[in-house]
């Protein structure tokens, strides 16, 4: 084994200490490493890690179920992941969002407890921040522009005093997915706190070191923005399935093909499973360039 040279004292040694953050500087020992840090810290960048391969599913969707497989760079922020999900699922980025790491051991919240929910909403109206039900999540990662979104008023049930919150543009995906404290967490992305479009995020592997998002597979046409929750989406699909649609169904189809925020002039007829990866990936490249 040949000797290496310390980058501070220039002493040659068979075994050198490597900067654990960037892996680019070598030292004869911790003393020289500490001595060099005030200078090196300005150039020290964390080593790039393999991308995350995520299967993201809208679990309430049926016949067909809507899902995408997304390659996400380790160093991407959750805000960038939000934009990527918007592109991959064909959303219009018109509403607020959050990410949560659900605690699988948390006590179930009773959705039937309407009285407790109303008491919580009344307390919020008075400026009091009381918790509704037991803590559900390890962390909640929020939209940094949440106060500008009209639907953010519906986020009351997603806040909890024992759940820390971080802004999505300030925290990286790899930092959170690697947390040992919540390695069994169930990740969820919620879009539009009025219609509540929940997306389950399953980490299915690691890919190559990369700086770009990519959608590698998927199924299911993009859901119409503001269609009125999943029941509204089912009604729209049924309109296209009808052999002789009534006037109300015709109005729904016309709205989807001409007026929805993410309208599709080709409609849904025999296209309910439609997804075009080439278009998604072209949009991912251009849209993510715009967020830099």
pLDDT of residue 45: 76
For 7-16, 122-131, 219-228, 277-286, which range has the lowest pLDDT when averaged over its residues? 122-131
| Separation CA 164–CA 252 (nearest Å) | 41
| Separation CA 5–CA 175 (nearest Å) | 33
Give yes or no for residue 159 having a pLDDT over 50.
yes
> In angstroms, how far is CA 213 from the centroid of its own chain?
12
Quick check: helix, strand or coil at residue 113? coil
pLDDT of residue 268: 96
| Separation CA 286–CA 284 (nearest Å) | 6
Report percent pLDDT > 90 for the chain: 59
pLDDT of residue 116: 62
| Separation CA 16–CA 4 (nearest Å) | 7
| Beta carbons within 10 angstroms of residue 281's beta carbon | 18
pTM across the whole model: 0.81
| Separation CA 113–CA 175 (nearest Å) | 36
| Separation CA 277–CA 264 (nearest Å) | 16
The structural domains of the chain, ordered by start, are: 4-40 (no CATH), 52-217 (3.10.290.30), 221-274 (no CATH)
Q: CB under 8 Å to 43, separation ≥6 — which residues?
A: none
| Separation CA 292–CA 282 (nearest Å) | 16
**Are the C-beta atoms of residues 54 and 72 closer than 8 Å to each other?**
yes
pLDDT tier, 1 (very low <50, low <70, confident <90, very high otherwise): very low
**Are the C-beta atoms of residues 186 and 55 closer than 8 Å to each other?**
no
pLDDT of residue 53: 97
Region 95-122: mean pLDDT is 74
**pLDDT per residue as tens digits for the range 114-157:** 566 666 566 655 555 567 677 889 999 999 988 888 887 777 77
Quick check: helix, strand or coil at residue 290? helix
Region 93-105: mean pLDDT is 93
**Are the C-beta atoms of residues 32 and 8 closer than 8 Å to each other?**
yes
Phi, psi of 201 (to 5 degrees): -110, 115
Average pLDDT for the chain:
88
| Separation CA 222–CA 181 (nearest Å) | 35
**pLDDT per residue as tens digits for the range 161-211:** 889 999 999 999 999 999 988 888 999 999 999 899 999 999 999 999 888
3-state helix, strand and coil shares in percent for the chain, rounded to the nearest 5: 35, 20, 45
């Amino acid at each position: 084994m040949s000797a290496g040279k310390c980058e501070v004292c220039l002493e040659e040694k068979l075994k050198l200490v490597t900067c654990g953050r960037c892996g680019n500087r070598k030292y004869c020992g911790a003393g020289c490493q500490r001595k060099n840090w005030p200078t090196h810290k300005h150039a020290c960048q964390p080593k790039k890690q393999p991308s995350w391969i995520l299967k993201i599913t809208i679990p309430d969707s049926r016949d067909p179920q809507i899902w995408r497989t997304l390659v996400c760079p380790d160093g991407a922020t959750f805000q960038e992941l939000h934009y990527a999900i918007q592109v991959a699922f064909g959303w219009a980025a018109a509403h607020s969002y959050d990410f949560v790491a659900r605690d699988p051991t948390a006590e179930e919240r009773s959705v039937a407890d309407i009285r407790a929910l109303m008491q919580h909403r009344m307390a919020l109206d008075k400026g009091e921040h009381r918790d509704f039900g037991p803590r559900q999540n390890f962390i909640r990662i929020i939209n940094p522009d949440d106060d500008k979104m009209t639907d953010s008023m519906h986020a009351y049930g997603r806040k909890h005093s024992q759940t820390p919150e971080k802004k999505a543009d300030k925290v990286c995906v790899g930092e959170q997915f690697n947390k040992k404290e919540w390695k069994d967490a169930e990740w969820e992305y919620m879009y539009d706190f009025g219609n509540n479009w929940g997306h389950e995020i399953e980490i299915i592997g690691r890919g190559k070191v990369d700086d770009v998002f990519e959608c590698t597979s998927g199924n299911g046409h993009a859901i119409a923005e503001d269609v009125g929750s999943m029941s509204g989406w089912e009604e729209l699909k049924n309109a296209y399935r009808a052999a002789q649609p009534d006037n109300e169904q015709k109005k729904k189809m016309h709205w989807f093909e001409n007026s929805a925020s993410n309208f599709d002039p080709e409609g849904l007829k025999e296209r309910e499973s439609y997804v075009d990866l080439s278009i998604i990936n072209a949009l991912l490249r251009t849209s993510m360039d715009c967020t830099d």
